[in-house]
Structure 1
Amino acid sequence: MASSKNKNQTSLALHKVIMVGSGGVGKSALTLQFMYDEFVEDYEPTKADSYRKKVVLDGEDVQIDILDTAGQEDYAAIRDNYFRSGEGFLLVFSITEYESFVATTELREQILRVKEEETIPMLLVGNKSDLEDRRKVHVEEVVEKVNEWRVQYVETSAKTRANVDKVFFDLMREVRMKKMAEGMDKNGPSGKKKKKRCYIL
């Protein structure tokens, strides 16, 4: 019985998502909220954690594999391996910590360098939207960055669960779209579409 269950799971489409961002921005809190519907305030991971969950994406059963990166980002080789294995990336910063917003630029550059691809499914995520009174990162500045990068920007709160599902599902849609486009490219040329930008605040 177990083998048929595993067989069924392996036949599902699998989308590999990597959580990237400075320490303390809430990567783990977002991941755990998405996985288990619970808010963990003082979670201090010492190693990367991998999670897998079966979800329904636009009526289709799929699996999402989430790698929640932690302290090893300091080791370039380990970090590069993570980035190489990912199909989509959530670039997370805290709206209460300006340095974490600045750090997303370097992280994105590292991802682009490792992946060596033109289009990489990526969302910029401003977490801790429940702490609006402590905001240090202004939306105008973020909009400028996402216009330049041509990515979607969403503000989330792992605490209140605001937009948590949205960022994972939107990223999975982008990953799926890229896989479909690559499938089409193999079968013949396809016209390039300009990516739409959208801001969820």
Structure 2
Amino acid sequence: MSQRVQIIVAGSGGVGKSAVTIQFLQGKFIEEYDPSIEDKYRKTIMIDDRSALLEILDTAGQEEFRKREEIHTKEGDGFLLVFSAISEESLKQAQKIHRNIIQEKDNKRFPVVLIGNKIDLFTENETLIKNAQKHCKEYKIPFFKTSALENLNITDAFHELVRIIWKFKENKKEKKKKKKNV
């Protein structure tokens, strides 16, 4: 039986959230950038001999949809935060979203993976990548350099997030068990 996992894909507009999601789900790159308001997808996959029913929510990056972000923060089991490897501002926005998740969930260790997308367009902005890595080290979250165009590290990032979600849920169950036994 598949375990249901809700993944929220978030980040600012134009960073490739939809391209990353479609590449993962369908194995193809979407050329046209059509800003999504919100798209939901479902897919059953196998990871480490376990079945997962993924419910992926590709969120809007535009500022006018920020209120919806709060709703999604409450619903998601984990978050794939996307920034563009060629935009300092998009990294700042992803970091802000991450801090909002921590605040909303009241948990610094909530399942999150940060990805720097569009690495195929990368023009040696080492500072940007170092800042992303520093953020990830501080919060103990994984970081992947990705390219939706080249399908680089997309599946790895999603699979790692699912593994983190599973571990998080198992730890939560263990804590509840211990409380009941006390």
The alignment's TM-score, normalised by the length of structure 2, stands at 0.91
The CA distance in 2 between the partners of 1:99 and 1:57, in whole Å, is: 33
> By how many angstroms is 1:75 displaced?
4.2
2:88 alignment counterpart: 98
Residue deviations 1:12-59, cap 9 Å, x none? 201110011010000000000011111002231342001010000101
The CA distance in 2 between the partners of 1:126 and 1:39, in whole Å, is: 17
| CA contact 1:95–1:137 (8 Å) conserved in 2 | no
Q: Secondary structure at the match of 1:114?
A: helix
1:6 alignment counterpart: none
Answering whether residue 73 of structure 2 is matched by residue 83 of structure 1, we say yes
**Matched pairs, number:** 179
1:130 alignment counterpart: 120
2:7 alignment counterpart: 17
Query: For the pair shown, which has the larger CA radius of gyration, 1 or 2?
Result: 1
The alignment's TM-score, normalised by the length of structure 1, stands at 0.82
2:30 alignment counterpart: 40
Answering whether residue 149 of structure 2 is matched by residue 159 of structure 1, we say yes
Q: Secondary structure at the match of 1:43?
A: coil
The CA distance in 2 between the partners of 1:137 and 1:40, in whole Å, is: 29
The CA distance in 2 between the partners of 1:66 and 1:159, in whole Å, is: 20
Give the unaligned 5+ runs of structure 1: 1-10, 190-201
Which of 169, 173, 176 is the aligned partner of 1:179?
169
The CA distance in 2 between the partners of 1:185 and 1:47, in whole Å, is: 37
Give the unaligned 5+ runs of structure 2: none
